[in-house]
Amino acid sequence: MLQAGVKAPDFVLQDKDGNAVRLSDFVGKKVVLYFYPKDNTPGCIRQACAFAQSYDAFRSRDIVVIGISKDSVASHLKFAQKYDLPFILLADPELQAIKAYDVWQEKKLYGKVSMGVVRSTYIIDEQGMIEKGMPKVKPDTNAQEILEYLDRKE
């Protein structure tokens, strides 16, 4: 997990519509960058829907929400349409941002060890610096925890 106070690694990835999106496009705005394992899996659906339900609260604070997984652009498009997701989803099949943000890690499931995305969230400030890293977040409470953190800061 990258530490607070360091420059957030820039990246260029495609969104669900195939448009190139750079993190540096959002300098001047706070960004919530969340990494998740896979589209259309139970935890990832719950997490995405929680962000969608809280989206107006993020927008009212002028905060950009970006979800990243290693799924394809086509997978993201279907996922966003199926669950009416209003925020940016970025495809990272080459693991460019996933590795840069140190969320590609060894995972254990039923005694089997494999590499995968550890569900993690970063809050990036208006200058492009990491304000807070949140490792191993829970899908159901992640969006609300971020809003509570931001409320405490104000």
Cβ-based neighbours of 7, under 8 Å, separated by 6 or more: 128, 129, 130
DSSP bridge pairs for 7 = 129
Percentages (nearest 5) of helix, strand, coil residues in the chain: 30, 30, 35
Does 49 participate in catalysis according to the annotation? Answer: no
Distance (Å, whole) CA 105 – CA 103? 6
User: Which residues, in sequence order, are CB contacts of 52 under 8 Å at separation 6+?
Assistant: 83, 84, 85, 86, 87
List the catalytic residue out of 21, 44, 80, 118: 44
- So which residues are the catalytic ones? 44
